[in-house]
Amino acid sequence: VAIGPVTARNRFYQVPHCTGMGHLRPQAVAALREMKAAGGWAVVSTEEAEIHPSSDLSPYPEQRIWDQRDLPALRLITDAIHRHDALAAIELVHNGNNAPNLYSRLPPIAPVSMSLSSDYPKQARQMSIEDIQQLRRWHRDAAVRARDAGFDIVYVYAGHLMTLAQHFLLPTINQRQDCYGGSLENRVRLLRELIEDTKDAVGQHCGIAVRLAVDELAGSEGMQASEEGSAVVEMLADLPDLWDVNVADWSNDSATTRFVPEDGYQISYIEFVKSKTAKPVVATGRLNSPDLMVSLVKRGIVDFIGAARPSISDPFLPNKIKSGDISEIRECIGCNICVSSDSLGVPIRCTQNPTMGEEWRRNWHPETIDAARTAVDTLVVGAGPAGLECALQLAQRGHRVQLAYETAEAGGRVLAESRLRGLGAWLRVRDYRMQKLQQHSKVQLFPDNTLSANDIAELDCKAVFIATGAKWRRDGIGRSNRKGIQSPASPLIYTPDDILKDENLPDGNILVYDDEHGYLGGVLADHLSHQGHAVTLVTSASIVSPWTVYTLEQHRIQARLIDQGVAIYPNLVIDSSTDSSVLFKCVFSGQPTELECAATILVTERVSNDELFHELRSRPAVNHHIERIGDALAPGLIADAVFSGHLAARDYQATQHEIEDAWYKRELPALTPW
Ligand SMILES: Cc1cc2nc3c(=O)[nH]c(=O)nc-3n(C[C@H](O)[C@H](O)[C@H](O)COP(=O)(O)O)c2cc1C
């Protein structure tokens, strides 16, 4: 498919996505992008690339193209992508009031004087006409640098409520009185000029793409595809060489499976675009299903299959489709752990693909793993996310693997949690691994099997990996209360494990107490209130499920609970209970609050199920490898468990010295002023 002067070799298009690496970790980001190109993506894009120090997103390490000094790092990326015959795209951006400029300390800029989008109590200043001219020059200069760095496609970015080009478009933000404000013609002027400038500067060599959010999913309160969204596309129709269209804000665009169902949730908003332009169109929305992909192209809705998360979960998705290995696709589960790493400014990770972000520093590949030095008999106890991943990778390395688990069905916590409202797609973590394990000649599965230390000793395997998971505490001990509940009236107390095992709850008010701050407290409150229980959520945090801010879900969770009539009590720590009520104290003042309830579910901390591990380790004659992995080692996210299982399988048979040597490459700042 031609994109202006360049041609993509197929229809798979990795749209811009951050990596938590950006300008700080150039070699790591180049290796990550290279993996996508090797996996068959015809276009591989960078994350948003700041064009100027007044668009400084620190502390988040996005891409940066402030000046010539950024070019060597960018060249690493384009060379890596070109090695696999793919096109390299760069998403130029000025983030306006979304850029706090914490590093550069320049005053932020915006169409009008307004607050920063973060909580930092500072305002962006209104741009003058001279500022707009300067912005156009910065963008143009950045485009020339991008071309010089070897990029084939240069983006003008008007999306996610995060960019100046979009801020000028939106009447809710742009209340200017001059020729850049007022009518749509005026509000579109800056975007048009940026496209024209970019075409003029580099259009002979590079395809010029526009990323536009055509709908804000806010009804008449925001831009709508049926109104100004389509009008903008119509006005600019064939000016760019490619339209990359989506919805805003970022939480709507990168919606999780918990709230937005699978595959193609953006189609109804963007399907008009091809009728307005002769230029190719790319769109996204967790496009995992090859059938849907074909149908979208055949129905003339898109020319390219765009993907961020499906390409993170499986960088080799295009090649697998090409070779017909569709069951090999490691499908995205839509959990947004990838987003959480960007939100935290650390290298990207993925629940399904533990090699994501480890391409350079650990030299990991999602499809291959080093053969074992000596193939031996191994045993994995437990078939949750850590056990399954460990077993699979041990087998791929050539070891013989026995996988024993207590239950009839494999999956562990993934199986249990996937039964909760909205989390069904999480079962893919198990399904992807189980279907491979079931077919693997080196693997034997032993369901319904509870092994004692004696049983394990008799099996005489060279290596034993204990993946027995963890259980939730019943005593109230957690981050805010290290002493636990005073005088617990035990019939009242449940743990998430009880609920996941479908234990019957009494009639009456169910109190969910969340001192963990992850997703589970909010999910349980949602699940139970959806089932018809009267639910009260009490948390030691100031908002519901605070960690989910990082996965772009927090506001949806809190809104849904409020809509479902869940009473929410923030800032309370559990103190004591009777058989009909629980006493809490304010985390700040200690003031008491007593809440009546029929049952309390404690979401506080977990305790590793590591008795078997310790028993095996305590045997004097043991001389083989015994290792704990996943939640049995340290309870965490499912992504942590998968990673732990993967790491253990990779490291097995390496000496401690080798492990430490390979642990892991770092990118250090050069100690020269430049
Ligand atoms: C980790 C992550 C980082 C992202 N960063 C960017 C970005 O820098 N620029 C951008 O335009 N979109 C960004 N996005 C949005 C994606 O490009 C994409 O539009 C969105 O995730 C929906 O597509 P998907 O379902 O294929 O992930 C990001 C998405 C993810 C998951």
Name the one residue in this structure whose structure tokens are 């519901």: 544
Q: Is 180 a catalytic residue?
A: no
Angle between helices 428-439 and 385-396 in degrees, nearest 10: 30
Q: What are the angstrom distances between the C-alpha of 273 and each of 133, 153, 246, 297, 543?
A: 30, 20, 10, 13, 39
Which positions ≥6 away from 144 have C-beta within 8 Å?
Answer: 201, 202
Name the one residue in this structure whose structure tokens are 């908002």: 543
pLDDT digits (tens, 9 = 90+) for 208-241: 999 999 999 999 999 999 999 999 999 999 999 9
Smallest Cα–Cα separation from 253: which of 530, 543, 48, 526?
48
**Ligand 1 centre distance from Cα of residue 47 (Å):** 8
Smallest Cα–Cα separation from 474: which of 487, 485, 462, 460?
485
Q: What is the pLDDT of residue 660?
A: 80
**Ligand 1 centre distance from Cα of residue 256 (Å):** 12
Active-site position among 141, 215, 249, 253: 253
Q: Is 586 a catalytic residue?
A: no
- Residue of the CA atom closest to atom 14 of ligand 1: 17
How many Å apart are CA 336 and CA 373, to the nearest integer? 36
- Residue of the CA atom closest to atom 13 of ligand 1: 17
Q: What is the pLDDT of residue 489?
A: 60
Q: Residue 448 gets which letter from DSSP? A: S
| Closest-lying ligand 1 atom to the alpha carbon of residue 63 | 8
- Residue of the CA atom closest to atom 20 of ligand 1: 254
- Residue of the CA atom closest to atom 29 of ligand 1: 17
370-384, 480-494, 506-520, range with the lowest pLDDT: 480-494
Q: What is the pLDDT of residue 623?
A: 65
- Using CB distances shorter than 6 Å, the residues near ligand 1 are 15-18, 47-48, 91, 159, 211, 246, 253-254, 284-286, 307-310, 338-339, 342
Q: What is the mean pLDDT of the chain?
A: 96
Q: Binning pLDDT at 50, 70 and 90, where does residue 490 land?
A: low
pLDDT digits (tens, 9 = 90+) for 21-60: 999 999 999 999 999 999 999 999 999 999 999 999 999 9
Active-site position among 157, 405, 519, 652: 157
How many Å apart are CA 163 and CA 253, to the nearest integer? 15
Residue 460 pLDDT more than 90?
A: no
Q: Which two tokens stand for residue 632?
A: 């049995």
Q: Binning pLDDT at 50, 70 and 90, where does residue 419 land?
A: very high
Q: Is 157 a catalytic residue?
A: yes
Q: Is 18 a catalytic residue?
A: yes
Active-site position among 13, 18, 141, 494: 18
Task: Using DSSP bridges, classify how beta strands 6-7 and 2-3 pair: parallel, antiparallel or unpaired.
Answer: antiparallel
Residue 553 pLDDT more than 70?
A: yes
Which positions ≥6 away from 656 have C-beta within 8 Å?
Answer: none
pLDDT digits (tens, 9 = 90+) for 165-195: 999 999 999 999 999 999 999 999 999 999 9
Contact at 8 Å (CB) between 92 and 142? yes
Contact at 8 Å (CB) between 515 and 480? yes
Residue 608 pLDDT more than 80?
A: yes
pLDDT digits (tens, 9 = 90+) for 306-340: 999 999 999 999 999 999 999 999 999 999 999 99
Of the chain, the end-to-end C-alpha distance in Å amounts to 41
Name the one residue in this structure whose structure tokens are 């979960």: 313
**DSSP E strands, 525-598:** 535-539, 567-569, 572-577, 581-586, 592-596
How many Å apart are CA 213 and CA 230, to the nearest integer? 10
**Ligand 1 centre distance from Cα of residue 225 (Å):** 19
Active-site position among 17, 52, 84, 160: 160
Q: What is the mean pLDDT of residues 446-474?
A: 95
- Residue of the CA atom closest to atom 28 of ligand 1: 17
**Ligand 1 centre distance from Cα of residue 16 (Å):** 6
Q: What is the pLDDT of residue 92?
A: 98
| DSSP helix/strand/coil, 275 | helix
| Closest-lying ligand 1 atom to the alpha carbon of residue 339 | 1
Q: Which two tokens stand for residue 669?
A: 């700042």
Share of the chain above pLDDT 90, in %: 93
| Closest-lying ligand 1 atom to the alpha carbon of residue 244 | 19
How many Å apart are CA 504 and CA 105, to the nearest integer? 57
Q: Which two tokens stand for residue 247?
A: 């919805």
